[in-house]
Amino acid sequence: AAGVIQSPRHLIKEKRETATLKCYPIPRHDTVYWYQQGPGQDPQFLISFYEKMQSDKGSIPDRFSAQQFSDYHSELNMSSLELGDSALYFCASSFLSLENTQYFGPGTRLTVL
Amino acid sequence: AQSVTQPDIHITVSEGASLELRCNYSYGATPYLFWYVQSPGQGLQLLLKYFSGDTLVQGIKGFEAEFKRSQSSFNLRKPSVHWSDAAEYFCAVRTSGTYKYIFGTGTRLKVLA
């Protein structure tokens, strides 16, 4: 079965640079979520989109922005990168319903030097 | 605010032994409950979920979990652990009115041969 695709899988950036992470949801899923998992931490919710509209917002820094496109893929844009942004970034997708089970991608590991 | 507690940060069991990972949540109404497993450097794989109905739910890889409303718990169990079960296990909660997950801090399982 098709899963959530994230690219790139690994990314190395310098401080103050910009990064763009991409997420391709499972076909027919209409909702995308972004989570950040720091080293040894639990995943923290950043933001979600349903039908290209922001549906929920968590602890996402102002330096980050995201959007969902007409083909339902999503991009997380991160500017003015800081060392503390080094983390594993997960994308999850779901079909919006009462159950709304989220299926996670493999993650993008971002390292900021 | 809703929260999820996984009291055990690390658990070590021998292969073939039984396993129980604890999860407690704080929420007034019945939440939607999930267990995910994360192998090193990998994404989050859904093991099982509870929404309503039978309080004992079966998942993949021989795992099961029991929802106990009186104890606000959703403990994960497996009767006989395999070496391949070594991983980090996250309990997650989704509350009505929102679709984001709140994760516990995770339990790292080590399996001795």
Bridge pairing between strands A108-112 and B32-38: unpaired
- What is residue B100's predicted lDDT score, i.e. its pLDDT? 86
* Both structure tokens of B40: 């090193």
**Per residue in B40-76, pLDDT tens?**
878 899 999 998 888 999 999 999 999 999 999 999 9
What is the distance between the alpha carbons of residues A78 and A89, in angstroms, rounded to a whole number? 11
What is the Cα Rg of chain B in Å?
Answer: 13
User: For position A80, what pLDDT does the model report?
Assistant: 97
At B67, list the tokens: 């929802």
- Mean pLDDT score across all residues of chain B: 92
Render pLDDT for B84-104 as a digit per residue (tens, 0 to 9): 999 999 999 987 777 889 999
Q: Is B36 on the interface with A (CB under 8 A)?
A: yes
Q: Which residues lie below 8 Å from residue B32, measured CB to CB, with a gap of 6+? A: A99, A100, B49, B50, B51, B93, B94, B95, B96
Residues of chain A contacting B103 with CB distance shorter than 8 Å: 42-44
Q: What is the mean pLDDT of each run of 10 residues along chain A (113 residues)?
A: 91 97 95 94 93 91 96 96 96 86 94 97
Tokens linked to A73: 């893929």
Residues 6+ apart with CB under 8 A from B77: B18, B19, B20, B21, B63, B64, B65, B66
pLDDT at B2 over 80: no
Q: Which residue has the higher pLDDT, B51 or B15?
A: B15
Q: Would you call B43 and A56 a contact, using CB atoms and an 8 Å cutoff?
A: no
Closest CA to A39 of A84, A8, A102, A104: A84
Report the alpha-carbon distance of residue B62 to residue A25 in Å, rounded: 27
Question: Smallest CA–CA separation between A6 and chain B, in Å?
Answer: 10
Chain A residue nearest residue B52, CA to CA = A99
pLDDT at position B28: 66
pLDDT of residue B41: 76
Sorted by sequence, the CB contacts under 8 Å of residue B97 that are 6+ apart come out as none
- Residue A48 is nearest to which of B32, B99, B103, comparing CB atoms? B99
Rounded CA gap, B45 and B63, in Å?
A: 13
